[in-house]
Amino acid sequence: MSKLVAPHGGKGLVICKLEGAARDAELKKAAGLKKIEISSQVKGDLIMLGIGGFSPLNGFMTKADWKGVCADFLLADGTFWPVPVMLDASKAEADAIKVGDEIALERKGEVFATMKITEKFAMTEDEKKWECEKVYKGHGEESKDEVFFEKAMKDHPGVQMVMARKDFCLAGPVKVLSEGEFPTKFKGVYLTPAETRAVFDQRGWANVAALQLRNPMHRSHEILAKIAIDVCDGVLIHSLIGNLKPGDIPADVRIECIDALIKGYFVPENILNAGYPLDMRYAGPREALLHATFRQNYGVNRMIIGRDHAGVGDFYTLFEAQTIFDTIPTPAAPGKALLCQPLKIDWTFYCFKCDGMASLRHCPHGKEDRVVLSGTKLRHALSNNQEVVDHFGREEVLVILRKYYASLTEKVEVKLQSHAEGSKM
């Protein structure tokens, strides 16, 4: 019998993907349905719905769900959920669809799902702004009332995506028909919740931590994983393999870096390298909660939360993604509360005087003795052909990253936020 944490929502893994003859029949039916072209973010959300990663969700949110999630972190039925999962549609598309209809959801010619419409509703500009204020606004310098929207519309990709949504939303359950390119492009790394749970059970793990990665794995990530290994049965290094913002490093390069690190610096039996198909939302603290919520479905009960988790620019304070876990509602009904808890770890860095990796909690030395580590700082140095400071990353990883940057014909400017520069250390 499994010793792992139960999936979120109290319903087991809610898997919306069809297989075999049922999938074939639904694909045939989809050919005759009205079609909506979906965004990359919706594609990732659909795949997570298909594989049970978004359990207990079985489709896109109603307006009551949307409002409850934005305002109170709760679905309409009282289940904890931190970030809206929405399907947008143009006015013309919405006008052509009525409640009760079935539609096909496609991207670039591939049908990803069918959906039964249970509700359609307008999403005004003011409502989109309200969502941005509730979900994406933090307590950092760029989130101050007088500058937030001006800064966010220029520099916050999550806010930009919300404000670019079409003017209507459609709600209803889905039948997922494809996992896209992920099973083949990332074979052996792209794993479903059922698959990670099977690995954990086979290894006898009960207490599992997850390390979220969207940047190449540097020395700070390495020590975070090793701290978690010391206090848990094992660690899932879980990389985002969906879309990122321009200037971020693609998934195949990051996975190659992780493989090199595991081979050289970890006991492989204590770690699992895997990926998941979402696009980043860059929602900072709210996204940290989303990461914990769907990691629970993967069998994880501890989410490593370090400095500026899932942040962008200076919209969030250093440890806002840790403290938000202390303020969320805890529904009393069985299965409705978040069971995956944060493993809060302080700012880590290399200290020359300590002669090793250290954190603010136990290193007494000054900023001048420390190598400040951040994915943004690493990308900034490499994209500008600058030397990477000693002890920032393992040489095996830097070789892979230098080769990648040397292959680029166009480079995106990487903006250094104050966190990355260590100005608040």
**Which one of the listed residues 165, 197, 215, 301 is annotated catalytic?**
215
Does residue 313 come out as left (phi exceeding 0), alpha (psi in the -120 to 50 range) or beta? left
* The one catalytic residue among 197, 214, 302, 370: 214
Q: Computed over its alpha carbons, how large is the radius of gyration of the chain?
A: 21
Extended strands (E) in 15-130: 34-37, 59-60, 87-89, 102-107, 110-116, 119-122
How far apart CA 414 and CA 139 sit, in angstroms, is 22
Tell me, yes or no, if 301 is annotated catalytic: no
Which of these, 275, 43, 88, lies nearest to 180 by C-alpha position?
Answer: 43
Question: Residue 214 catalytic?
Answer: yes
Residue 385 corresponds to which amino acid? N
Closest CA to 354 of 340, 364, 345: 364
- Integer angstrom CA distances of residue 285 from 131, 290, 340: 14, 9, 15
Peptide bond into 56 cis (omega under 30): yes
In this structure, are residues 212 and 309 in contact, taking their beta carbons and an 8 Å threshold?
yes
Query: How many Å apart are CA 277 and CA 279, to the nearest integer?
Result: 7
Q: Catalytic positions, please? A: 214-215
